[in-house]
Amino acid sequence: MRHLGKLTPAAVLRLPRMVFGCCASHVSARHRARTIKKLCYRAARRRSFKFVRYSLRFPATHLLFEILRAKGESLLLIGNAQAREQAEGLFLRSIDISRHQHALSWELCSAVSLARLWRAEHRSLQAKELLSGVYQRFTEGFATHDLMVAKALLDSLG
């Protein structure tokens, strides 16, 4: 993968082709999602969502839920009420898509993001119900980072 360095708007729009190109089958979905997440955070810092808008118009459907979640996390960095409301909608949409695709670990990531938002808005009961519903469907892998984060968040919710 090419070093990303400083991203110009033109470079951001070329990234899906440039980063994954013809060897996309050799790049794991987790790696692609991490790359997209990193790019969304960089775009948020520059207040530029051109890459995110581009990704939502031409999504790799198996990554759409992670793109939505990353955009929601980016909106939370802005910090105003309208951004939080948009982020909540993106997290809910991400959860729906991951449920539809039976992607339980991605659903957990989106549920953790939404639960954190709801906890910050003093909606802890809703956050606990959502997160415990997803967490209880796991039967193994409790030593993984995502499940340990979810368990810690559940414990903090009471």
d(C-alpha 76, C-alpha 84), whole Å: 6
Task: State residue 52's pLDDT score.
Answer: 56
Give 3-state DSSP helix, strand, coil % of the chain, rounded to 5.
Answer: 80, 0, 20
Over residues 98-113, the mean pLDDT reads 92
User: What confidence tens digit (pLDDT) does each residue in 122-158 have?
Assistant: 999 999 999 999 999 999 999 999 999 999 999 999 8
Tokens of 66: 């992670």
Measured CA to CA in angstroms, residue 36 lies from 52, 77, 150, 158 at distances of: 9, 17, 22, 33
- Averaged confidence pLDDT in the chain: 76
Is residue 43 one of the residues assigned to a domain?
Answer: yes
User: What confidence tens digit (pLDDT) does each residue in 18-46 have?
Assistant: 344 434 444 555 666 666 667 666 665 55
Split at pLDDT 50, 70, 90, the class of 60 is low
As for how many domains the chain has, the answer is: 1
Is residue 137 one of the residues assigned to a domain?
Answer: yes
Q: Which domain holds residue 128?
A: 9-157
Question: Residue 73: which of 60, 58, 55, 86 has the closest Cα?
Answer: 86
Is residue 1 one of the residues assigned to a domain?
Answer: no
Is residue 3 one of the residues assigned to a domain?
Answer: no
